Amino acid sequence: MSARIRRVGVVGGGRMGAGIAEVCARAGLDTVVCETDAFAARQARERIARSLERAVERGKTDRATAADALARIAFSGDLADLADRQLVVEAVVENAEAKTEIFGALDKIVEDPQAILATNTSSIPVMRLGMATRRADRVLGLHFFNPVPVLPLVEIVISLHTSAEAAAEVEEFAVTTLGKTAIRSQDRAGFVVNALLIPYVLAAVRMAESGFATATDVDAGMELGCAHPMGPLKLADLIGLDTVASIAESLYAEFKEPLYAPPPLLLRMVEAGLLGRKTGRGFHIYDRG
């Protein structure tokens, strides 16, 4: 079972990909992060190094352990360097065409026919990605939550083609090797968490958009009135407003329910590049330093 998964590849070294690579390396796994080019690969390394340094400062690990974890991660600008991986997790931009192209390429590159190809998508059908390969039974969703080193949950998303063996292997890997809590979802837009979360976030956007309440008051209401650790608009900023809009569009395309439709304000903010924490401004202002 999951004990055989010792070599992991991650496609994409952004916030999610870097977090996935970090937790794999901290679990003692041989990890390769693949980015679009050497420059992006160096940025991914810096991102992980900063995260590990924060873990040391917070007393979550010691400096020697953090250094060992970083040393377990190789960084590449070439997908071919994933040829010997036993598990590859795709974590690129939430775009169906981009992800489909990557899965088609991985199918040709990854040599082990028993290797598992997983996607960290928030909403794109796993079936579509699996059908881009000749091993749809070994393709599934492995959806982590941001920040990956902190949040304990992963969703295991099973398409109509995913084999029971592949699902069981990845679930054991997530729980036993990575120390996460796993829940299973069928392959439908939003899976479990986002199908519940995104309508709530969109309702908060509409409330701010209409002038009914400010973003600060909306967030304070849910934090102090409902004991939520973070208000919905702060949470949207953390997720990334482009990702929130993409998930909403996928949900609306599948279910045609008005509550899933992204509000105009959200779409305008994405168009303006006001994406939340990662750009320094969304519904709130952030220090990017």
Task: Enumerate the active-site residues.
Answer: 122, 143, 155, 194
Burial 237-266 (b: 16+ CB within 10 A, else e): bbbbbbbbbbbbbbbbeeeeeeebbbbeeb
Cβ neighbours for 281, distance < 8 A, ≥ 6 positions apart: 274
Write out the H or E segment, with its range, that includes residue 221: helix 215-225
Find out whether 149 and 22 touch, Cβ atoms under 8 Å: yes
DSSP per position, 172-220 = HIIIIIS--EEEEEESSTTTTHHHHHHHHHHHHHHHHHTTSS-HHHHHH
Find out whether 154 and 167 touch, Cβ atoms under 8 Å: no
CA angle 92, 95, 97 (to 5 degrees): 105
Q: Hey, what are 183's tokens?
A: 């829940």
Half-sphere exposure of 130 (CA within 13 A, CB side): 21
**Partners of residue 250 on adjacent β-strands:** none
Interatomic CA distance for residues 126 and 250, integer angstroms: 13
Q: Hey, what are 130's tokens?
A: 């699996």
